[in-house]
Amino acid sequence: MKPTPPPDYFENLLDLIEIERDAERAENERKLDLMPVQMRETLGKTVTRLVLAREDFGVGGHPLWILSRPSHGEEYSPFQALNQGDLVALSFNDTPGAPRVKGTLYDIDEFEITVALDGSPETPPKGRCQLDVLGSEATYKRMKKALVNVQKAEKKSVAHLRDIFMGKKEVSFEALEEPLSYQNNKLNKYQKQAVEKALEAKDVALVHGPPGTGKTTVLVEIIRQSVVRGARVLASAPSNIAVDNLLEKLLDTGLRVVRMGHPARILDSLRHATLSAQVAEHYDQSSIRELDQERERLLKQRARAESRGRGLAWEERHSYQTAVQKLWQAARDREYALGREILAQADVVLVTHGGIAKPILKKPFDLLIMDEASQATEPLSWVPITQTKKVVFAGDPLQLPPTIYSDDAKKRGLGTTLFERLQKILPEKAQTLLRIQYRMHETIMGFSSQQFYKGALEADASVRAHTASDLPHVKDAPLLKEPLVYIDTAGSGYEERWNDLLESRENEGEARLALQLSGELRENGLPAKSIGILTPYVAQVRLLKSLSKDRTLEIGSIDGFQGREKEAILLSLVRSNPQGEVGFLEDIRRMNVAMTRARRLLIVIGDSATLSRHPFYLQFIEYAEKHKAHRSAWEWIS
């Protein structure tokens, strides 16, 4: 029996996203002071140095504050990452004790933003003001709209997909007429299988790809094959970086690709592929320029007329105003039309799930490709699905799931991704497990393979036995000839500490040892950029960064490193306590990600006395022993 979700399934999802929205807002507000301002600013969640320009009242008498920021010659407006409807907090840090003011972003233009205050008007404190985004309303609205559409759809292709995804309809297939001629002739047999199954499936196919097994590579081949067969393709992923990764691979194929989304949030090297860039370069752009120039001319003329004499008569001012507005609208309409034209002619349109505001084409796409599918919640996944007839998912539910703020929403279903649900519903014929990985030495791969993939993974010959010492300019030192080293800190006195401010844990002994080891790797010729230090705890990240003198050495949390790799990874597990508590190390999917980021050398630092109380870590220690990789921290303590 297939598990059939209950009839009120979509109602429940609608409730869950409301709960999640409130939880996200509350958490962001609580965390405002924890993340450094510069970091928040690069993420687009904060705008500093604002001044209150005016106060006003909006529809319904809502108090409005109009804030502006003096330009500092930035390439993009400081407000690019903000969206109308975002929930925000305003702080006046120059005025000690001034309370935070909350509101909603009402209007955004290049130099000014307008915030509608939540409550009754307050007397604005003096001085500069900082704006922090507490939650993006836009994505929630889009999820809500998508879920409602899916729920009530009757004839459209989305109704068909919904019924399949709810286990109410069978999927269908159509055999290929002739053997495939592959565009990428390096694909391995499992990758070829995945491409074939995806092309034969008429509704949906899943590609389950463990770390480094070439999911994105497979998706690119599926896209190319589908375009050859006349398909219009939409390619989507939950994060900008994942979309850019796919875009980068597609740009080499010669397909006509368009990347939707604001250029400010897209990698520099890929900006030429954005819709805005393509509109700007369109041969028909001159007509827009003419409209804009004409508008500027009128504005200047009006200014001149106003500066002469006592100003303009009402009628005259009004006719200028109307003419200017018409020209502005005509230019924007033309721009929009050009954009639609470019999109309609593209082979592949790329966008984040949350970046889709309305139907992109008049008709649904023939194929939707979803990369990093196990990193998106089900409601978010439905946003792009409403635009297509067929979907191919790629992901790995045994790596980290999407971040969810509300434990309640997580337990009530938001924690299960559509990818996981479909793994249970869909027949074998619609699913492939990729098995050959192109990243790790086989000893690094082995533990993950055994724990998570029933031992199914294989290391490609090109990486199977590679070690750091095989790299150019790297010495043949003993540590660099190993693929895996577990450094046991039991009995070393390195104890964990609770960091109150960050609400997280740290372990100074481990931090110093990790930095000492990275120093040893560099002394032996491994460049800092090839080394990463990872740890599950934010407090340990902070401590490591404050102790490290080298800015080129990448130190980070595991969650932020999913999808990436380094030649050598040092992993500091932090936990060391007499009770044997491992806390959130219990989420072993996080460890799966952490241990599979290293290509040639993985060094794990942790206290066996604490860790071995948990079966996963006990088995890891046994695995290390079996591979003669279990060492004591005493070897490094002088």
Ligand X SMILES: Nc1ncnc2c1ncn2[C@@H]1O[C@H](COP(=O)(O)OP(=O)(O)O)[C@@H](O)[C@H]1O
191 touches, from Mg ion, ligand X, none (C-beta below 5 to 8 Å by class): ligand X
Q: Interface with ligand X includes 369 (CB under 6 A)?
A: no
Spatial CB neighbours of 547, under 8 Å, sequence gap ≥ 6 = 511, 512, 515
Site string for ligand X, 388-427 (x = CB under 6 A): ----------------------------------------
| DSSP single-letter state for residue 454 | T
Specify whether the CB–CB gap between 204 and 163 falls below 8 A.
no
What H or E segment, with its residue span, contains residue 407?
helix 407-409
Output the smallest distance, CB 238 to Mg ion, in A. Answer: 12
187 touches, from Mg ion, ligand X, none (C-beta below 5 to 8 Å by class): ligand X
Distance separating alpha carbons of residues 68 and 51, to the nearest angstrom: 5
186 touches, from Mg ion, ligand X, none (C-beta below 5 to 8 Å by class): ligand X
Output the smallest distance, CB 373 to ligand X, in A. Answer: 11
Output the smallest distance, CB 218 to ligand X, in A. Answer: 7
Output the smallest distance, CB 216 to Mg ion, in A. Answer: 3
Q: Interface with ligand X includes 608 (CB under 6 A)?
A: no
Q: What angle do CA 140, 144, 149 make, to 5 degrees?
A: 150
DSSP 340-400: HHHHHH-SEEEEEGGG--S-SSSS-BSEEEETTGGGS-HHHHHHHHTTBS-EEEEE-TTS-
**Selection from 258, 408, 257, 279 nearest residue 336 by Cα:** 279
Tokens representing residue 636 in the block:
């490094």
Region of residue 97 (left: phi > 0; alpha: psi -120 to 50; beta: else): left
Q: Judged by CB, which is closer to ligand X: 414, or 463?
A: 463
- Considering only residues 63, 214, 483, 536, which one is a binding residue for ligand X as defined by CB under 6 A? 214
Q: Judged by CB, which is closer to ligand X: 186, or 473?
A: 186
Output the smallest distance, CB 182 to ligand X, in A. Answer: 10
Amino acid at 119: G
214 touches, from ligand X, Mg ion, none (C-beta below 5 to 8 Å by class): ligand X
Q: Interface with ligand X includes 213 (CB under 6 A)?
A: yes
Number of residues in contact with Mg ion, rule: CB under 5 A?
A: 2
Q: Judged by CB, which is closer to ligand X: 479, or 534?
A: 534
| DSSP single-letter state for residue 603 | E
- Considering only residues 103, 209, 261, 509, which one is a binding residue for ligand X as defined by CB under 6 A? 209
Residue with the shortest CB distance to ligand X = 214
List the beta bridge partners of residue 497.
506
Spatial CB neighbours of 283, under 8 Å, sequence gap ≥ 6 = none
Q: Interface with ligand X includes 576 (CB under 6 A)?
A: no
Distance separating alpha carbons of residues 575 and 584, to the nearest angstrom: 10
Site string for ligand X, 160-189 (x = CB under 6 A): --------------------------xxx-
List the beta bridge partners of residue 207.
394, 432
Distance separating alpha carbons of residues 548 and 372, to the nearest angstrom: 32
Output the smallest distance, CB 25 to ligand X, in A. Answer: 33
Q: Interface with ligand X includes 191 (CB under 6 A)?
A: yes
Q: Judged by CB, which is closer to Mg ion: 47, or 222?
A: 222
Output the smallest distance, CB 498 to ligand X, in A. Answer: 35
Distance separating alpha carbons of residues 175 and 202, to the nearest angstrom: 10
Distance separating alpha carbons of residues 516 and 522, to the nearest angstrom: 10
What H or E segment, with its residue span, contains residue 442?
helix 442-452
438 touches, from ligand X, Mg ion, none (C-beta below 5 to 8 Å by class): ligand X
Pick the piece of the chain touching ligand X (CB under 6 A) from 10-18, 126-134, 146-154, 207-215.
207-215
Specify whether the CB–CB gap between 605 and 571 falls below 8 A.
yes
A 10 A CB-CB count for 257 gives 21
Pairing between β-strand 46-57 and β-strand 63-68 as defined by DSSP bridges: antiparallel
Specify whether the CB–CB gap between 108 and 84 falls below 8 A.
yes
What H or E segment, with its residue span, contains residue 193?
helix 189-200
Q: Which of residues 436-455 bind ligand X (CB under 6 A)?
A: 438
Q: Judged by CB, which is closer to Mg ion: 191, or 216?
A: 216
558 touches, from Mg ion, ligand X, none (C-beta below 5 to 8 Å by class): none
Q: Judged by CB, which is closer to Mg ion: 24, or 396?
A: 396
Q: What angle do CA 184, 186, 187 make, to 5 degrees?
A: 80
Number of residues in contact with ligand X, rule: CB under 6 A?
A: 12
Q: Interface with ligand X includes 242 (CB under 6 A)?
A: no
Output the smallest distance, CB 188 to ligand X, in A. Answer: 5
- Considering only residues 215, 302, 390, 410, which one is a binding residue for ligand X as defined by CB under 6 A? 215
Q: Judged by CB, which is closer to ligand X: 173, or 438?
A: 438
For the four alpha carbons of 64, 70, 72 and 73, in that order, the dihedral sign comes to positive
Q: Interface with Mg ion includes 216 (CB under 5 A)?
A: yes
Residue for token pair 């504050």: 65
- Considering only residues 46, 91, 149, 217, which one is a binding residue for ligand X as defined by CB under 6 A? 217
Q: Judged by CB, which is closer to ligand X: 425, or 459?
A: 459
Q: Judged by CB, which is closer to ligand X: 133, or 434?
A: 434
**Which positions touch Mg ion (CB under 5 A)?**
215-216
**Which positions touch ligand X (CB under 6 A)?**
186-188, 191, 209, 212-217, 438
